[in-house]
Amino acid sequence: MVEAVQGAGVVVTGAGGGIGAALARRFAAEGARVVVNDLDADRVKAVADEIGAIAVPGDASAVVGEARDALGGAVDIYCANAGVGSGGSEAAGEDVWALAWDVNVMAHVRAAEALIPGWLERGGGRFVSTVSAAGLLTMIGAAPYSVTKHGAYAFAEWLSLTYRHRGIKVHAICPQGVRTDMLAATGSAGDLVLQPTAIEPDAVADALMKGIAEERFLILPHPEVAGYYQARATEPDRWLTTMNHIQQKWEAGE
């Protein structure tokens, strides 16, 4: 059992399935009091009924107040997990870019704005951001997703460096492929890049619990991402050439 989780009031957004549902199940199993949120009211209610959580369906950007009421007090751990896997290039419509920015970045900002003052007042709180390895690296065929996941990672990093001395813990989860509906929707790009090493959502939950126990900011359910991230930082042209070869394979339908 993870001591920091036992008895904590936890909110998980995007919890109707996939990673969010796996996180919610694991928090409940660890003895937390869990609020689950999703736009799909039926799916999130099913998860809540399964694990004894409280369902608060609706927009993730507006869940904090209702979650506090449901928990009868403070939110101790907030998991900003809801996301959209917007594909496309620079030519993706502005509505596609706007939705990706709103869900993948601004929902995190709004949650932090609602939570940080109370956490500073009481001297603690924990913000968990489901980012993606795309936020450290990139993803072919998905400019809006890649760019906004970089933004989500940058915001989590900023929160951590700004507030860690005041008791606020931040974790950024950055998996590669995870067997979810979002992965299935990536089509041939996901088949090429992500499917070969895809893991189950429960493995992401396991990695998060280990990261919380060890108080680590960066959580890599696929450990090999650390090497890719290092290569990107130290040999950017070589790394970009490698990624471009993958791009060419995708374009060729290989």
Residue 249 in contact with residue 192, Cβ under 8 Å?
yes
**Nearest-angstrom CA–CA distance, 237 and 191:** 25
Residue 132 in contact with residue 149, Cβ under 8 Å?
yes
How far does Cα 231 stand from its chain's mean position? 23
Rounded CA Rg of the chain: 18
Q: Among the options 145, 153, 163, 228, which is catalytic? A: 145
Please report, for residues 25, 69, 211, 213, the alpha-carbon distance to residue 2 in angstroms, rounded to integers and kept in the order given. 14, 25, 10, 6
Any catalytic annotation for residue 145?
A: yes
**Nearest-angstrom CA–CA distance, 98 and 246:** 27
Q: Which residues are catalytic?
A: 145
